[in-house]
Amino acid sequence: MTRLADIRISVLDLAPIRDDGSPAEALRNSLALARHAEALGYTRFWVAEHHNMDGIASSATAVLIGYLAAGTSRIRVGAGGVMLPNHSPLVVAEQFGTLETLYPGRIDLGLGRAPGADQYTAHALRRDRLGGPDDFPADVEELQRYLGPRTPDQRVIAMPGSGTRVPLWILGSSLFGAQLAGMKGLPFAFASHFAPRLLHEAIRVYRDHFRPSEVLDRPYLMLGVPLLAADSDARAEYLATSAYQRILALIRGQSLVQRPPVESMEGLWLPHERQAVGDFLGLALVGGPEKVRARLEVLLEQTGADELIFTCDLYDFADRLRAYEILAGLQQG
């Protein structure tokens, strides 16, 4: 059985913006959290690409990664992920080749197939560029060529980028990404922090389709997990209402700025909305240290994951820092 002490733990941050905050504050908090995670021994710190969302400040992912890498010294920093349909593979190769050149051995590039935005925003991002999610496998291969060694007949190069071999991950919330990651012999990160329903099937598909590559000789699985931990179960349940409100706002198409916790969600959601929020956060670790430990042990026993990457959507930044302290203490203890 996989033990908590034997796996890697990492952070996925969206640079959340509070209802009384600003993007500048959110970005400063992201760097402070990265430094905190580095001091606690976390393996990597990823930020995710989202667009047209007023509560998320990580849209310019490569720029933010440069800021985070410059402000830290050891922790791996990367994208979890870059939504490849929004970008030319060449541009992505140049951006992340530059990051790898500046911060060698510390940059990860997770690749997603979804646009990470609504159809209007996706059009604004791409303009007249043809392509979409169905081109994802070909785009991944093109990106691999740009980041790999230059060939004699190569007419287009990424500079910086060529020969940097930035580590690529395939991200997914469905079975498509699981199958592609397996067939290409790449590490796979499943978005179970918001799509837990297909978790076990995606793991099976990834492992069944895995082919050894120059990158991996065996599957490497990372799972996203919402972390809503505090020093007591009651405190965690109270703080978690901020996350519940944010998911409820997402379902309703409302503003995604972080809202303060409330004593009760009664009257704020309808029964079917409560169920939808519960489904979205099906793997959430809500509780004090012992409750979180127990849930983590069950998750690892059921999945055999190699690494867990945690999101934490608590309103007060001090509570977010404390949640990651609690988790690190559980792993080290």
* Structural domains of the chain in order of their starting residue, each with its CATH number: 4-233+284-332 (3.20.20.30)
Per-residue pLDDT at 11: 98
Burial class (CB in 10 A: 0-12, 13-18, 19+), 121: middle
CA distance 149 to 247: 43
Per-residue pLDDT at 86: 87
Q: Are 133 and 122 in contact (CB under 8 A)?
A: no
Q: Are 202 and 178 in contact (CB under 8 A)?
A: yes
3-state SS class at 16? strand
DSSP string for residues in 76-105? EEEEEEEEGGGS-HHHHHHHHHHHHHHSTT
Q: Are 43 and 75 in contact (CB under 8 A)?
A: yes
End-to-end CA distance of the chain: 18
CA distance 268 to 271: 10
CA distance 65 to 63: 5
How much helix, strand and coil, in percent to the nearest 5, is found in the chain?
45, 15, 35
CA distance 191 to 81: 11
- Single out the residue of 118, 134, 51 nearest to residue 85, CA to CA: 134
CA distance 155 to 295: 52
Q: Name the helix (H) or strand (E) containing 168.
A: strand 168-172
83 DSSP β-pair partners: 112
Q: Is the peptide bond before 81 cis (omega within 30 degrees of 0)?
A: yes
Residue 83 DSSP label: E
- List per-block mean pLDDT (blocks of 10 residues) for the chain, which spans 333 residues: 87 96 98 98 96 92 98 97 90 97 98 74 63 81 95 92 96 93 97 90 97 96 98 98 97 96 96 95 96 96 97 97 97 85
pTM of the model: 0.94
**What number of helices (H) and strands (E) belong to the chain?**
11, 9
CA distance 210 to 120: 36
Per-residue pLDDT at 132: 59
Helices 233-252 and 271-280 pack at an angle, to 10 degrees, of 110
Per-residue pLDDT at 130: 55
